[in-house]
Chains A and B, each alone.
Chain A
Amino acid sequence: MDFQDAKSISASAMRAQTNRLRFITENIANADTPGYRRKVATFKEVVDQGRETGRVQSGPVELDRSALDRIYDPSHPLANGDGYYDGSNVALVVEIADAREAQRSYEANLRMFDQARKMRSSLLDILKR
């Protein structure tokens, strides 16, 4: 384990968090799409030949299984006999909170990346004298 490892681990986590943020964006964009289920990002550790590397990757997409929102609008083409149709199960507040969390994690990883970089460059400073 050295700084190169530390940097690639942080970079993998930043990539995974970016992916999570993308799902959040998709969810928010589809908040009004009938029948849309919100996507949830999953994370898992990368295992190389049975050994844990510490790197992170996004796992398969999971769909939120909670009930879809039932919206009353008799004039909607998808409305059933009672005048209801299925909306999406996206809650904007949840998405915003999730986005904030993704951002925090991203920042933490970025800081670790920067710190590994600085430590490495101060190591190289010894040679410059």
Chain B
Amino acid sequence: MFPTITDKHREMFKSLASGWILIGASCVQLFEGENVLIGCPNSIVNTEAALSVTSLTSGLTLCVYGITDANWTPAVESMLDVFSNMLTADADLDNLTAALVETQDRLVALYELTQATRRTLDMPKLLDLLIKQSKHLMNVDGGFVVLKEKGKKTIIHQISEEPLHPAHAEAAATLYLREPNRHIFKESETLPVNLKNVMMVTLPVRDEISAAVGLFNKTGNFTTPDIKLAKAIAGHIGAQLENAMLHKEAVERTRLETEMDIARQVQTAILPQTIPQIKGVDVYATSIPAFEVGGDFFDVINRSDDSLIFALGDVTGKGMPAALLMSMTHTIIKSASRNMPFDYPHQVLDRLNHDMAADFTNVGMFTTVMLGLVDCSARKLHFSNAGQSPIYHIPAQSEPVLLEAQDIPVGILDSVQYSTQSLDLAYGDIFVAASDGFPESRNPGGEMYGYERIKNLFSVSRKLPAKQIAEALLTDVNAFCGTHPQDDDRTIVVIKFEKPDENKIMFNESLTIHAEYKALREPCERLRILLKRSGVPEETISLCELALQELLANLVDHAYEGNPNGQITVRMAGSREQIAIQTEDTGIPANVNLEEIHMPAPEELAEGGYGIAIIRTLIDEVQYKSLQGKNIWTLVKRIN
């Protein structure tokens, strides 16, 4: 292609042509094919004979009319050369200028794109901008973006006069993702029918998302500069898109946190702040919510002077929906327990299920509930268990028993009939309802705390008051989990059946000491003070103090073998009926058969071996257990 003939060209042609006219030519004309580009003089059409030369490189023809002498042919050729070269050079210059203008256009467009995207964090808008700008700059029919994230639906966003079938866009993206170093695909290949050509570039978002931009049906072909430009646009939009995603996630996170805060407040607000106490029952209940509130609830309600209702449940799911359903469930249980005439707890669960089944079904949730009724005068415990676990019965005289749930959770079937089980209570019997947050707690290695550990712990903590039984479990689960965060709420209700007036706790405390002789004085003297304050006779005080001293000295010598870094926790609890002392250490497990230990005979003049024998003589019940790396000694002294 030659540039437009300008006046400059005409002037030059005229001066060269005038030479020919001087030597007798009538006219000089320059042709491109059949068309006259320039003529001199301008408008004369000559038919006479002429010298005519055609350039092989430019395809131009120069005719000099009125001259036929072939000797002049080289001169015609040189004039054609001069002119051809000039026109070619001018054409190149024109092209260069055009390219410069286009590059400038593109830079301006990119700048405008940057400005536009800075103002938006909205993903569809950004994708629109990306495609519109690319379309505008590269002169294509349309464009699309494909976003693929593992486990999520593929997103296809497109702008085009004639939109592509999403499957075609995805097919093009798949083609590209298989060959990411190739960018241009032509119709002859595996492209869908309505695609003439496609150019694909990567949209750099984040590692877990593979994203690509496709531009299709360009008039002519895509070129390397097109790829570069598309990459530049995609790079910019990709960064902005990532910002948009982060922003969206931050907003979502804040929303979740706010929701969790509210859920936690709801849960905290509805759980009882004080636990009612009735004669003959030592009750303790507590709930430690997880960060993502799990929907646990509990309640303890006085029904009369000698009967008590307790409930523990866990609504499925987390956050706000769980908190709302939990508060509704809790309210119904509370009001039914207080106001509804019923003999057995299953009647309350029937009512609850009837009232709430539709609501639960609508949101695809349900709740487990254990509802118990302690009847002190009849010495009975009636309970109804809709899927709550674990529930333990710890009889005073035998090992703890895990009670399986009899019925399905509330909110699953409207037609279900709940049932009640009854236990005869003996003094010292314990009933524990807990949430699955205990057995399902995990340590950093992923191991679950499990039911067996709970049972073993109860078999040593059973002599303690209700509060300490619960706290011992919470402490042990915490220690087990270590650095692993609490995944679910931990809620526990402990009911201990005791002789009326004898359940009064006179003291109940614990302290931790280092395993060295000089540290033993503190717990011994503390015990003395507690017992004296409780009105225990001096002789009993001395004996208890001695038993504790002997036990602790034994741990210093044998559990820790004199290593003062060892720690011993001492728990002391006293009621009018008995004094319980429990120690916990993490030293060497005792290898001792208590039954075989006797006081050395005086004539032996033994220089040791008195310690455990003294304890056995003074204390009514001595128990030793090694449990999950901890050694637990329990001493119980009954007061007459």
Co-complex (A, B): no
Instruction: List residues of chain A with CB under 8 Å of any chain B CB.
Output: none
- Residue positions of B touching A, CB distance < 8 A: none
